[in-house]
């Protein structure tokens, strides 16, 4: 059974400490890019270190593109994309990929949906043909729609409704953090909207968003550049473009007062907190500084949270944080987004006490700043994480497509690291003061269900 992925921070692929380039790590990612007449943007990167190739296709549509009454369409359509196409019936992709020693998958994100195949490099034509065939002629039938509605419902039951913290994070946290419906509705959608989805709705969604001019194709690995370009032209050039779909309005009014909400999770074994602050514009000085501040606060064993809250006060059990958490990381962060963190803590402590301790760690930065030595440790951790994240053709293809979709420039993979590493102690102190203040803070306290004997007390 195909494993469809939702990009929750505890399950999805993310960068260890951010998404800069590999340039400062001492190597360069070669890039060739071109655009077909139908609007398909292609990015190629040759790497002959292993006889493997990744074909990664990103469609510029995610959960934040959905309309009221159509929640969950982006995720539903991710499922539909594995139901077969005009010349490759259901199961053909898995049979060809797995039979040749490869694999495939897809995932739904707030701002895009992606699909990938990883194969021996001599099987590249198979992957390109399969992607082109479903872009051109996906099998959108009533039978496929009905069975994938049920598949999405079952996925929700198994992976979210019966998983501790998941409902709080997926459904409740966005309503606390955001006021714009495009940002605040559930990524996986509602059963009601899924039940109401018609075949005409799905066909319209496919025509609107799954067109070549709304897609980015990244091919990375042991490839011949000229031959690969020719194959892409052969398989994809005849697919007609469509009118460009409208972009969702993601703007949020400035937050001027703190927000706090409680949610009782009957499956949780220890209480948890989600704490977030509205983040900066992507690729601004504040964006780079806040990413480096996150490394100082939460990155690795030397981080302030680990040293002061986990090991020192012993008031925190576990934590994670990122720009865009829980559905994105710094690499695919896009405003309106939050710098958010998830914290598990002992049941004998109060949520308000942990919030105060977290804010005090931030206040120390606002008051005292960070030392050059601490920042250098953060830079080293950041750089090491980046090197690890670039080890596979899949991770490089994903990042190239993200840079192309979100920034219009895949070459940032080779230049952006410098901007992260150039952040100064003063820049970190300033960004902590501008963004991480109590009046801009949103908090979701995830409480334990009281034993029956205590209910009503």
Closest CA to 110 of 185, 181, 187: 187
Q: What is the mean pLDDT of residues 184-198?
A: 90
Per CATH, 4-236 and 259-451 having the same topology is answered: yes
Beta bridge partners, 263, equal 446
Which residues are CB-neighbours of 246 under 8 A, at least 6 positions away? none
Other Cβ atoms within 10 Å of 100 Cβ, number: 14
Q: Is 358 exposed, middle or buried (0-12, 13-18, 19+ CB in 10 A)?
A: buried
User: Alpha-carbon distance 322 to 310, whole Å?
Assistant: 18
Q: Tell me, what's the pLDDT at 385?
A: 87
Residue 23 has pLDDT above 80, yes or no: no
pLDDT tens readout for residues 264-299 = 999 999 999 999 999 999 999 999 999 999 999 999
pLDDT tens readout for residues 33-82 = 999 999 999 999 999 999 999 999 999 999 999 999 999 999 999 999 99
Phi, psi of 360 (to 5 degrees): -65, -35
Domain ranges of the chain: 4-236, 259-451
User: Alpha-carbon distance 8 to 156, whole Å?
Assistant: 13
Q: Tell me, what's the pLDDT at 189?
A: 85
Residue 6 has pLDDT above 70, yes or no: no
pLDDT tens readout for residues 120-174 = 999 999 999 999 999 999 999 999 999 999 998 888 888 888 899 999 999 999 9
Domain 4-236 sits in which CATH superfamily?
A: Metalloenzyme, LuxS/M16 peptidase-like (3.30.830.10)
Q: Tell me, what's the pLDDT at 11?
A: 34
Omega within 30 of 0 (cis) for the link into 326: yes
The CATH T-level fold of domain 259-451 is Cytochrome Bc1 Complex; Chain A, domain 1 (3.30.830)
Q: Identify the residue whose tokens are 């139901």.
A: 83
Is residue 110 classed as helix, strand or coil in its secondary structure?
coil
How many CA atoms lie less than 13 Å away from 28 in the CB half-sphere? 4
Question: What pTM does this model have?
Answer: 0.92
Q: Identify the residue whose tokens are 């007062």.
A: 257
pLDDT band at 198 (very low <50, low <70, confident <90, very high): very high
Q: What is the mean pLDDT of residues 327-356?
A: 97
17 sits in the region (left: phi over 0; alpha: psi -120 to 50; else beta) called alpha
Q: What is the mean pLDDT of residues 196-224?
A: 96
pLDDT tens readout for residues 405-449 = 999 999 999 999 999 999 999 999 999 999 999 999 999 999 998
Q: Tell me, what's the pLDDT at 453?
A: 53
How many residues are present in the chain? 457
Q: Tell me, what's the pLDDT at 274?
A: 98
pLDDT cut 90: percent of the chain above it: 86
Q: What distance separates the 2 farthest-apart alpha carbons in the chain?
A: 72
């Amino acid at each position: 059974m195909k494993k469809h992925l939702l990009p929750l921070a505890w399950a999805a692929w993310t960068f260890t400490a951010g998404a800069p380039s590999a340039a400062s790590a001492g190597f360069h990612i070669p890039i060739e890019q071109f655009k077909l007449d139908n609007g398909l943007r292609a990015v190629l990167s040759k790497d002959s270190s292993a006889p493997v190739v990744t074909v990664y296709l990103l469609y510029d549509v995610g959960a934040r593109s959905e309309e009221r009454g159509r929640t969950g369409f982006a995720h539903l359509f991710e499922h539909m994309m594995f139901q077969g196409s005009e010349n490759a019936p259901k199961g053909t992709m898995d049979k060809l990929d797995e039979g040749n020693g490869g694999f495939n998958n897809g995932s739904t994100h707030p701002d895009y949906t992606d699909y990938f195949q990883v194969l021996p490099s001599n099987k590249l034509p198979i992957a390109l043909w399969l992607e082109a065939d479903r872009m051109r002629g996906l099998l959108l039938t009533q039978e496929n729609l009905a069975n994938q509605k049920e598949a999405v419902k079952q996925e929700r039951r198994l992976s979210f409704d019966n998983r501790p913290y998941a409902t709080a994070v997926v459904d409740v946290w966005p309503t606390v953090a955001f006021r714009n419906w495009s940002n605040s509705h559930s990524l996986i959608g509602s059963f009601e909207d899924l039940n109401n989805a018609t075949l005409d709705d799905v066909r319209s969604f496919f025509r609107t968003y799954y067109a070549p001019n709304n897609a980015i194709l990244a091919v990375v690995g042991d490839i011949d550049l000229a031959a690969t370009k020719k194959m892409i032209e052969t398989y994809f050039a005849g697919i007609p473009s469509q009118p460009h779909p409208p972009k969702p309005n993601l703007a949020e009014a400035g937050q001027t007062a703190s927000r706090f909400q409680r949610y009782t999770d009957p499956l949780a074994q220890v209480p948890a907190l989600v704490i977030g602050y509205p983040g900066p514009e992507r690729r601004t000085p504040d964006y780079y500084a806040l990413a480096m501040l996150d490394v100082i606060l939460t990155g690795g064993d030397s981080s302030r949270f680990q040293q002061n809250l986990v090991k020192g006060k012993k008031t925190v059990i576990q934590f994670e944080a990122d720009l865009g958490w829980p559905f994105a990381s710094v690499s695919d962060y896009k405003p309106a987004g939050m710098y958010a963190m998830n914290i598990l803590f002992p049941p004998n402590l109060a949520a308000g006490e942990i919030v105060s301790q977290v804010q005090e760690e931030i206040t120390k930065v606002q008051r005292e700043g960070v030392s050059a030595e601490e920042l250098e440790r953060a830079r080293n951790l950041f750089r090491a994480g980046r090197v690890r994240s670039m080890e596979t053709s899949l991770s490089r293809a994903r990042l190239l497509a993200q840079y192309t979709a979100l920034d219009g420039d895949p070459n940032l993979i080779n230049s952006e690291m410098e901007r992260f590493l150039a952040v100064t102690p003063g820049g970190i102190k300033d960004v902590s003061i501008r963004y991480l203040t109590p009046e801009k803070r949103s908090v979701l306290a995830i409480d334990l269900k009281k034993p029956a004997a205590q209910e009503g007390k």
